[in-house]
Amino acid sequence: MLNILRKNAQSVVVQALVVIIALVFIFWGGGSKMKDNPNALAVVNGKEIPYRDFQQSYERTVETYKQQFGGQLPPELLQGAELKEQVLNRLIQEELVRQGAEKAGIMISKEAIQRKIQEMAVFSVNGRFDLANYKAVLSQNRLSPASFEAGIRNDLLTTRALRAIDSFTVVPAQEVQNWIGYIDHEIKLAYGAVQSDDYITQVQVTDEALAAWYETANSKYKSAPQRKLLYLAFPFKDDLGQVTVNDEAIQAYYHEHAETYGQPEKRRARHILFRVTGEDSPETKSAKKAQAEKVLARIKAGEDFAKLAGQFSEDMTKDKGGDLGFFARGQMVQPFEESVFALKKGEVSGVVETPFGFHLIKVEEIMPAKTQTLAEATPSIRKILEQKGVKAITFKRASSAYEAIIRAGSMAKYSETSGAHPVLKTGFFLQDAPPGEEGMAKDPAFAQAAFGLRKGELSSLVETANGYAILFVDDAKDSVVPELAAVRNQAIVDYKKEKSVELARAAAEEMLHKAKAHNEWPAGLARKESDYLKRNGATGAMPENLRQDAFTRVGREVFPEKVIANGTVFYLYQIIDSRQGKGEMDATKRRLLEQQLHEAEKNILMADWLGQLRKEAYIWTNARMLQ
C-alpha cells in the first residue's frame, strides 16, 4: 500500500523522461555560500528537500534495481556515494521542473487534485471513492491528507509541464523530408571475402613457436575448480504444515498491497485525425478544421464512424477504422484524454484540437475500474503468507542443526548421531553444473556458497529459494594450468586457427592496398555484386558492418579505408553506384519517423529548459548526509 501512495505522491513521470537529458545534471557542484542546514539534504532556490524524501526515493531505487537483477543486488552498486548522488540529483531536478512550471504560470486547482485522488482504486469501495477509506488508508501508512495531496499536486504540475514542452515541439515538414531522403539513399556494391580457414594449411608449427604462444594463451586451458560436499537440506515444504494463516493476517496484507489487486478505468475509442503541423499555414489549419466539422456532420447524420475513419483519417489507425484499443488515463495527450473520459459509451465528441491536429472521437467501450475482492484474492495471499511464515520455522530448525554440528565438532561426527536428519553427499562437481537433477543443490546460492569455501570449511546457513542448507567441503580441486604436453594436440589446432586469422588479415590488407593504388578490383579475389541497398533492411549474404561502412564512404572514396572484419573473415568492397531513391515512405513508417523526430526535438527543448533553470538556480547540498 505504501508503495502506491508514494508513487502517486512523488512523480515518476519526470523520472522516466528526464533520464534522457540527465547529462545536463551530471555535476551539480554544491554551493559554498550558504551555511549548512541540518534539517535539509538540499535546498533549491530556498525550497528544502528533506532527508526523509531522499531516503524514500533511495529505497524505491534500490528496490527497482533488485527487481532488475532478479532479487540479488550486486554489492558494488551500493558501495560509495554514487547511487545516493544519483537519487539526490534526480530529486533536485524534479524540484527544478516544478519550480519552472510554476514560474511559467502552470496552476493546479484543488478540483484537479480531488479528481486525481478519486480515480485511485485504492480509495474506492464498491467502485466509488470513499472518504472514510481514504483517511483510513493514509492513516495506516502514516501519511497526512495534506502531505499526500501536496504530492499529487506535484505530480500533476510535473505532468502538465511536460505536456507544455510537448506542445511547443515542432518538426518542420522539410526536416521530415530530408530524413526520408537520407533513409532512402541507395548504393550498389562489389564485395569479396578473405576466409581465414583458407590459410590454415600455410601455418607452420615449430616447437619453439608453439611453446612461446602457449605461454600467453595457457589460461584458456585452465581447469575449472571442483567441490565435493557433505550437506544438510531443510526444505520449506517440510514445515508448511506448521504455518497458520488467520483471516486477520490475510485482510491486513490485502489492504497493505491494495494496488496489486486494482486496475484503473480503461476506455476503448476510435478517432479520425485531420493532421496539422506547426509548419502549416493558418489557412491550412482552418481548412482542416472545416473538413473535420463536415465529417462530424456526416457522423451525426448516421454514417458509420469506422468507415469514415478509413476514408478520412490521417493516422496509422485508419486501416482499423481508427481503433485505438483500450487505454487508461495518462496515456494520451491531455485534450484528447479529457474528451474521451467525458464521453459516455457510444457518444461522439465535437472537434478536439491537440498538437497533432483535429480529432473526432467515439467511445466504443468502457471498462470500469475494478478491484479484486478480498475473497477472490484470499487463496493467493494465503500462499504468500505461508511462504513468509514458514521461513522462520525452517530457519529455527536449521539453526538447531547447525548448533548440533558445532557441538559435535564436525559434520562427519554429527552424521553419526543424526539419524533423523541424514547428511547428504555429492561427488565432485563444477559451479555451473551443480549435483542432482533438481532441488536445493540446483539453486545458484547453493553453488555460490560451496565455491566460496575451501576444503575442510563449514558454511553458515545458506538460504535458497526452496529452503536452507548447511555445507561442508569434504574435498576440493583447484584450478590448474596443464603442461603443454597434456593439451598439445588441441593447442596445435588452436594455434593454427589463430595464426591463420593473422595471415588472412595481412592478405586482405595487401589486396586493399593494391586496389586503392590501381583503382581497380584486386586480382585473385572472387567478386560478388549486391543489389541496390538502403541504409536499413536486408543485406543478403553481406555482413551488416560492411554496409554501414560503405555508406560512410559515399562521395569520398569507392574502397574502404581498411578491411572489414566479421569474425575470422575479412571483407573488401567497392562502391559501384550511388543514387537517390524515390523519396517515398508508407504512412505507417512516416508516422513512426515523425514520432521519433518529435521525441528527439522534445528532448532537446527539455534539456535546454532544464539547463536554463539550472543556470539560474541557487542549489546547496549537504554532502555530509550522503556519507
pTM (predicted TM-score): 0.50
Identify the weakest region by mean pLDDT among 130-139, 457-466, 551-560: 130-139
Cα dihedral angle (131, 135, 136, 138), rounded to 10 degrees?
A: 130
- Tell me how far CA of residue 204 lies from CA of 146, 372, 510, in angstroms: 82, 74, 21
Checking if the pLDDT of 71 tops 70, the result is no
pLDDT digits (tens, 9 = 90+) for 462-481: 999 889 999 999 999 999 99
Instruction: Look at residue 73 in the predicted model and tell me its pLDDT.
Output: 62
From 281, 314, 308, 260, select the one nearest 122 (Cα to Cα): 260
pLDDT digits (tens, 9 = 90+) for 590-624: 888 888 888 888 888 988 888 899 889 998 888 77
Checking if the pLDDT of 78 tops 70, the result is no
Q: What is the mean pLDDT of the chain?
A: 85
- Across the range 10-17, mean pLDDT stands at 38
Q: Which residues contact 189 (CB under 8 A, 6 or more apart)?
A: 529, 530, 533, 542, 546, 547, 550, 573, 574, 575, 576
Instruction: Look at residue 467 in the predicted model and tell me its pLDDT.
Output: 92
N-term to C-term CA, the chain: 30
Checking if the pLDDT of 256 tops 70, the result is yes
- Tell me how far CA of residue 99 lies from CA of 54, 63, 211, 485, 616, in angstroms: 18, 28, 69, 73, 12
Checking if the pLDDT of 114 tops 70, the result is yes
